[in-house]
Amino acid sequence: MIFIPERMTPLKARRLGLDTQQELTIYLRADSAVCKSEGFSALSRVLVRTEHSHVIATLNIITGELLHGGEIGLSESAWKKLELEEGDSIWASHPPPIGSISHIRAKVYGHTLKQEQYREIIDDIVSGRYADIHLAAFITACGNDNMNNREITDLTEAMVNSGSTISWGLPIVLDKHCVGGLPGNRTTPIVVSILAASGLTVPKTSSRAITSPAGTADTMETLTNVSLSLDEMKQVVCENGGCLAWGGSVRLSPADDLLIKVERVLDIDSEGQLIASVLSKKIAAGATHVLIDMPVGPTAKVRSQKSADKLADSFRKVANALGLTIDIMFSDGRQPVGVGIGPALEARDILAVLQNTADAPSDLKARAIELAGAMLEMATDMPKGEGRKRSRELIETGKAWNKFKKICEAQGGLREPPIAPYRFELIAHQQGWVQSVDNRRLSQVAKLAGAPADLAAGVEIHVKLGDQVRPNQPLLTIHAESVGELNYAVEYLEAHEETVQVSTDKEACDAATAL
Amino acid sequence: MIFIPERMTPLKARRLGLDTQQELTIYLRADSAVCKSEGFSALSRVLVRTEHSHVIATLNIITGELLHGGEIGLSESAWKKLELEEGDSIWASHPPPIGSISHIRAKVYGHTLKQEQYREIIDDIVSGRYADIHLAAFITACGNDNMNNREITDLTEAMVNSGSTISWGLPIVLDKHCVGGLPGNRTTPIVVSILAASGLTVPKTSSRAITSPAGTADTMETLTNVSLSLDEMKQVVCENGGCLAWGGSVRLSPADDLLIKVERVLDIDSEGQLIASVLSKKIAAGATHVLIDMPVGPTAKVRSQKSADKLADSFRKVANALGLTIDIMFSDGRQPVGVGIGPALEARDILAVLQNTADAPSDLKARAIELAGAMLEMATDMPKGEGRKRSRELIETGKAWNKFKKICEAQGGLREPPIAPYRFELIAHQQGWVQSVDNRRLSQVAKLAGAPADLAAGVEIHVKLGDQVRPNQPLLTIHAESVGELNYAVEYLEAHEETVQVSTDKEACDAATAL
C-alpha cells in the first residue's frame, strides 16, 4: 500500500542574484504546489535536482511577488554549483537525512570519533550537505582541545582526501606555517623567496585570514594574482622553485575553506581543527618537510610556553603519523612584527625587507632569516648556523628579491599594494616608555578598520616594547577605505587604552618588558 | 583628526517577502554606495536603524536586478520587528561588536561562566544580535553536561528575566513537565484538567516540539487556540483554574523559543539548556510547585537510571536555588504511551481518556492519574495514595472532561483534530510476540511523515511490548498529509526493521521485556 508519487512537474530555475556565500539557498512561493505536497517550510533542507546534478539547499519562503507560480529561485552559490541556465528544469524533494550529523552529536557528548566518522563529516561538508549552523556546531564541538591526536590525524586525512593533491616526485618539498595571533608576522613571502633562490622546492599555498586582520593569501593578493589553478601553480613552481598561491583556488583541502568562512564569523578556533587545517593543506600540496612558527606571548594565539609545548607535541605526533618531517620553532609573541598590520600594509614591510632598504623592519627580517635558516638546515646537510648565514646573504645580495619578482611575474605580474584614503594617528600624550602592546586589541582595531576584506585597511605601529617616546610622537596610524570603518576603529581604540601602554616609570617598563 | 561621517543618505525600505524565520536578514546591491562606504560584504552583520527602532541583521548581497539603487530589502522577520512601511527611511552601519560572543568562546574553552555573562548572552539573543550560527555555537558549547548547577541556575534566571513574568498572588501554583523522548506521552492536558477540576491553579504553558514529533503546544493546537496573550491567559486561569497555552506567544522566556528553533534543525540537546528551558518557563509562569516526569528507557531521552539520577539531582539543586518546590517522578520509558504519535493523533488519545471511552489507552490514563495524584499530594495535605484515588474519580465521573472543555472554550473553542489523507499500515508477517519498540526510530518515522509541522501526520502503534501478534495483524499505521512525506516515512521504516521487533520465541521475548 505504498504510494508512488507521479513524476513531479519540474520547476523553472530563476536566477535571483542573491549572494548567500557558501550556503546553498533556494526560494519557493509559500503557496507553491511543491511546498504543499512535500510539506516544506522556511529553513527546510531540500534536495534540488537538475537533469545532470543535485545539491541540498536551505529553503527560504517567498510570501511576496518575487517568483511566479512554477518557479524556483536560487542563490548565486546554488546557481553556480548546479551550472544552471535560466529556465532549466528543477525537481525539489526531501533530502535523505545527513548521516554524519549524529557524529557531531556524539562529539558534543564527549565521544571519540573514528576515522570513518570524520571521513563522513568531511564528505558531507564538501558535498554542501551542511547548513551553516551545522558547520558552526561541528567547529564548536571540536573547540578547545577535545580531539585526541588520533582523531586529529583522521580529520587531517579526511580533509586531504576531500580535494586535489599534488605529487612533485621529489624527495624534499618544503613548506612552512605560522600559528597566527601575532599581527604583522608575514615572513612567508620572504622565506619562500630565500628557499627558492637557494634551489629548493617550496610550493606555498596559504589561507586567507581566519580571525586575524590578514592571512598570507590576503597580503600576497595586494602584490600579485594568487588565484592559480592547479596546473598554473605547478607551472610556476617548476619554473621558479616556489609559488605564493591561495590554497582555496587550487581545491587543496576544500573542506578547510568552507570551515574557515564560518570560523571567521564565529571567531572560535579549535586546536584540533587548527592542526588539521594546517597539515591537510601541506600534505595536499605535496610537502615532505614542514616548519611551524609558533609565536608565544600573553596576547598571541599561544599564550604560554606550556600551551605551546602541548600544541607542538600534538603537531609532531599528527605529522609523524602522516609521514611528514616537522620542526617547530617557538618565537617571541609579545608584540607585532614589522610595522604594518593588514594586507597592503604588511605587503609594504615585505617589499622593504626583500629590497633591503634602510628602513626595512629589522625584526621581520631577523625572523625570516631565522625561519629560512632552520628550513635550509632541515632540508640539506648544512651544519647548524650555516642556514641562517646563507639566508642573510640571499636577502642582502638581492637574490631573494629577484626570485620574489620572478614568482610574482609568473603568477600574473607584480603590482603596487593599494593605499587607504582615510587615516587616523594616535599620538603619545607624554614622555615615557612603551610598556605593553596588546596583539588582540591591535588586531581588533585593524579588523574594525576593514581588514582583511578591505586590502588597504589596517594599522601601522610605530613603536616597539621598551622604546622611549616623546610627547606628540605618533604611536599608531589607522588606515581605512571608508569613513565609517575608520570611525569604528578609532572609537574602539579610544575605549581601549591598554592597546598600547606608555609608562613614565622606566624601571617598571623594563621589568614588564623583560623576556 | 577623527573623521565625522556626514549624515548618511537614508535607504528606502523594500519588503521583499522573504521568510528567513527568526534570522533578521537584509539585502543590498553589491554596487550600492553603502556597501562601498561601509565595506559590507555577504554575511556581514549590519546595524539597521529607522527613525524609531534598530536591529542587527545579516546581509545578503544582491548581484541582480531585484533592488533599485538606494533601496534596502528586508526579510519578513526584519520588516515586522522594525514595524516598517514601504518606502520608510533606513540607515545601515556597522554594529558594535557583540560582547557576549567572547563568553561563548570561553565556554568552548572549558571555562565556567558567571551570572553576568549568562545575562549578557541571553540579552543579546533576545535583542536579535545573534546570527543563527552564533545560536548554534552557544547550544553546542553548552552541550553534554558541561555546565555546573550554579551556571544552569544563572542561565535559568537570565532566561526568566528576558521576558514577561506572571505573579498569581497565590501560595500554591502548580506546573508539570515531561523530559521528552517518549513518543505519545501526552499526559499534560489530562493532568491539568484533573488538577483544575479539583480546585487547584495550573497555568500551564508548553513549548512546541524540539526534536520530537509533537510537543504539548502542537497537540493542543489541534484541539483549540493556544496562542494566548498574557492577559487572555490570566483570564482563562482565573475563570477555570488552568489553561493549556503555548509559551511562545505569551513571551515567557522568549530566549528559549529562539534557541529551540535552532536546536530543532541541529538536533542537539544539552542537559543544562534542558533544565534552564524547563524551569525558566515554569518560574516565568509563576509556578511554585513543579513535578518533572522523567521516563527512563534504552531508547528514551534518559537512557539509564544512572543518567536519570544525575539529571534529577541537577533539576532539584537548580530548582531549590531558585526557590521552587520540585518533585521528580521516574517512569517506564521503554515504549510509547497511548496509540498516537504526532499532534492530532495524540489529541485523539487524550480525548478518549477524558471522555472515559472503553477503547481509551489504559497506559496513558494510568500515567496521568499517577502524575496528577503526586501533584495533589505535593500541593495539599492529602495522605499518600489519596491523590491517585481522587484523580481517578475526577476522570471517571467526567469532571476532568468538563473542565477540559471549559478551558478549551475559554481559549477560543474546542475543535476536532484534523485527519491525514494518506496512510500506510505495517503488518506482522508471522505469529509471535512484540519483543522491542524503538522510540527514536518511531519518532523519526513520525517526523518523516511530517509531524509536528503537519498536525495530522504521525504514527499509530497498535501493539505493546509482550503482546502476542497474529500474521497480517497491523503493527503500525503511518499518517501523512502528503504523498512525498508518506513515502519517506515508509522507506525509512522498511530500512529499519528494528523499529518494532516481533520474536517467535516467547521466552526470549519475556526475558527482553522484563522490567
Instruction: Tell me the per-residue pLDDT of A439-465, one tens digit each, with 9 for 90 and over.
Output: 888 988 998 898 988 899 999 999 999
For residue A7, give the DSSP letter.
Answer: P
pLDDT of residue B461 exceeding 70, the answer is yes
Instruction: Please indicate whether residue A44 or residue A138 has the higher confidence score (pLDDT).
Output: A138
Residue to mutate among A45, A60, A301, A479, with most B CBs inside 10 A, is A60
Cβ <8 Å between A108 and B270? yes
Residues of B in contact with A57 (CB under 8 A): none
Q: What integer pLDDT is reported at residue A354 of this predicted model?
A: 98
Question: Smallest Cβ distance to B63: which of A2, A17, A41?
Answer: A17
Euclidean distance between CA atoms B400 and B193, whole angstroms: 5
Arithmetic mean of pLDDT over chain B: 90
Euclidean distance between CA atoms B132 and A60, whole angstroms: 14
Q: Does B27 touch chain A (CB under 8 A)?
A: yes
A 115-174 near B (Cβ less than 8 A): 131-137, 139-141, 143-144
Confidence of residue B4 (pLDDT cuts 50, 70, 90): very low
pLDDT of residue A4 exceeding 80, the answer is no
Confidence of residue B134 (pLDDT cuts 50, 70, 90): very high
CATH number among 3.90.1170.30, 3.40.1190.20, 3.40.47.10, 3.40.50.720, domain A422-513: 3.90.1170.30
Q: What is the pTM of this model?
A: 0.78
Which of B165, B147, B137, B130 has its CA nearest to residue B45? B130
Q: What is the pLDDT of residues B243-298, one digit of tens each?
A: 999 987 787 888 988 888 788 778 777 789 889 999 998 999 999 999 999 999 98
pLDDT of residue A35 exceeding 80, the answer is no
Cβ <8 Å between B136 and A137? yes
Euclidean distance between CA atoms B87 and B71, whole angstroms: 8
Cβ <8 Å between B140 and A140? yes
Question: Smallest Cβ distance to B16: which of A66, A104, A144?
Answer: A66
- Per residue in B25-51, is it b (16+ CB within 10 Å) or e — as a string? bbbbbeebebbebbbbebbbbbbbbbe
Q: How many CB atoms lie within 10 A of CB B83?
A: 10
The residue type found at B191 is V
**What's the distance, CA B156 to chain centroid?**
16
Q: Does A68 touch chain B (CB under 8 A)?
A: no
Q: What is the pLDDT of residues B469-500, one digit of tens each?
A: 999 999 999 999 999 889 888 988 988 888 99
* Residue of B269, B327, B363, B438 marked active site: B269
Contact B481, B457 (CB under 8 A): yes
Q: Which residues 6+ apart lie within 8 Å of A418 measured at CB? A: A222, A344, A455, A456
pLDDT of residue A140 exceeding 90, the answer is yes
pLDDT of residue B115 exceeding 80, the answer is yes
Q: What integer pLDDT is reported at residue B37 of this predicted model?
A: 60
**A458-461 β-sheet, strand order:** A340-341, A458-461, A474-480, A422-427
Cβ <8 Å between B266 and A140? no
Q: How many CB atoms lie within 10 A of CB A429?
A: 12
Euclidean distance between CA atoms B293 and A71, whole angstroms: 48
Cβ <8 Å between A62 and B270? no
Q: Which residues 6+ apart lie within 8 Å of B91 measured at CB? A: B8, B10, B11, B48, B49
Q: Which of A42-46, B131-135, B225-229 has the lowest mean pLDDT?
A: A42-46
Q: Which of A95-99, A370-374, B324-328 has the lowest mean pLDDT?
A: A95-99
Q: What integer pLDDT is reported at residue A380 of this predicted model?
A: 92
pLDDT of residue A36 exceeding 70, the answer is no
Q: Does B39 touch chain A (CB under 8 A)?
A: yes
Cβ <8 Å between A21 and B43? yes
Element (H, E) at A437: strand A432-437
pLDDT of residue A8 exceeding 60, the answer is no
Active site positions of A, annotated? 269
A 338-397 near B (Cβ less than 8 A): none
Most confident of A193-197, A253-257, B62-66, B439-443: A193-197
Residues of A in contact with B141 (CB under 8 A): 140, 143
Instruction: Please indicate whether residue A1 or residue A281 has the higher confidence score (pLDDT).
Output: A281
Element (H, E) at A15: strand A11-15
Q: What integer pLDDT is reported at residue B265 of this predicted model?
A: 75
Average confidence (pLDDT) over A384-393:
96
Q: How many CB atoms lie within 10 A of CB B84?
A: 19
Q: What integer pLDDT is reported at residue A301 of this predicted model?
A: 84
Residue spans of the domains in chain A: they are 11-93, 174-246+282-411, 422-513
A 190-219 near B (Cβ less than 8 A): none
Please give the ipTM for the structure prediction: 0.75
Question: Smallest Cβ distance to B131: which of A17, A38, A265?
Answer: A265
Confidence of residue A372 (pLDDT cuts 50, 70, 90): very high
Chain A CA closest to residue B97: A448
Q: What integer pLDDT is reported at residue B373 of this predicted model?
A: 97
pLDDT of residue B385 exceeding 70, the answer is yes
Euclidean distance between CA atoms A423 and A405, whole angstroms: 30
CATH number among 2.60.40.1580, 1.10.287.1060, 1.10.220.150, 2.40.40.20, domain B11-93: 2.40.40.20
Q: What is the pLDDT of residues B140-170, one digit of tens each?
A: 999 877 899 999 999 999 999 999 899 999 9
The residue type found at A380 is T
Contact B216, B206 (CB under 8 A): yes
Confidence of residue B95 (pLDDT cuts 50, 70, 90): confident
pLDDT of residue A515 exceeding 70, the answer is no
Q: How many CB atoms lie within 10 A of CB B508?
A: 12
pLDDT of residue A3 exceeding 50, the answer is no
Contact A120, A100 (CB under 8 A): yes
Q: Which residues 6+ apart lie within 8 Å of B432 measured at CB? A: B468, B469, B502, B503, B504, B509
Q: Does A451 touch chain B (CB under 8 A)?
A: no
Q: What is the pLDDT of residues A203-223, one digit of tens each?
A: 998 888 867 899 999 999 999
Arithmetic mean of pLDDT over chain A: 90
Residues of B in contact with A483 (CB under 8 A): 3, 5, 37
Most confident of A312-316, B107-111, B444-448: A312-316
Chain A CA closest to residue B2: A424
Cβ <8 Å between A484 and B39? yes
Q: Does A60 touch chain B (CB under 8 A)?
A: yes
Q: What integer pLDDT is reported at residue B515 of this predicted model?
A: 67
Euclidean distance between CA atoms A55 and A48, whole angstroms: 5
Residue with cell 579526511: A158
Cβ <8 Å between A19 and B60? yes
Q: How many CB atoms lie within 10 A of CB B334?
A: 19
Count of CB pairs separated by less than 8 Å, A with B: 202
Q: What integer pLDDT is reported at residue A38 of this predicted model?
A: 65
CATH number among 2.40.240.10, 3.90.79.10, 3.40.1030.10, 3.40.50.300, domain A174-246+282-411: 3.40.1030.10
Residues of A in contact with B486 (CB under 8 A): 2-3
How far is the alpha carbon of A132 from chain B, nearest alpha carbon, in Å? 6
CATH level 2 (architecture), domain B174-247+277-411: 3-Layer(aba) Sandwich (3.40)
- Tell me the three cell numbers of residue B446: 513520525
Euclidean distance between CA atoms A345 and A364, whole angstroms: 13
Chain B CA closest to residue A38: B484
How far is the alpha carbon of A498 from chain B, nearest alpha carbon, in Å? 17
Q: What integer pLDDT is reported at residue B8 of this predicted model?
A: 55
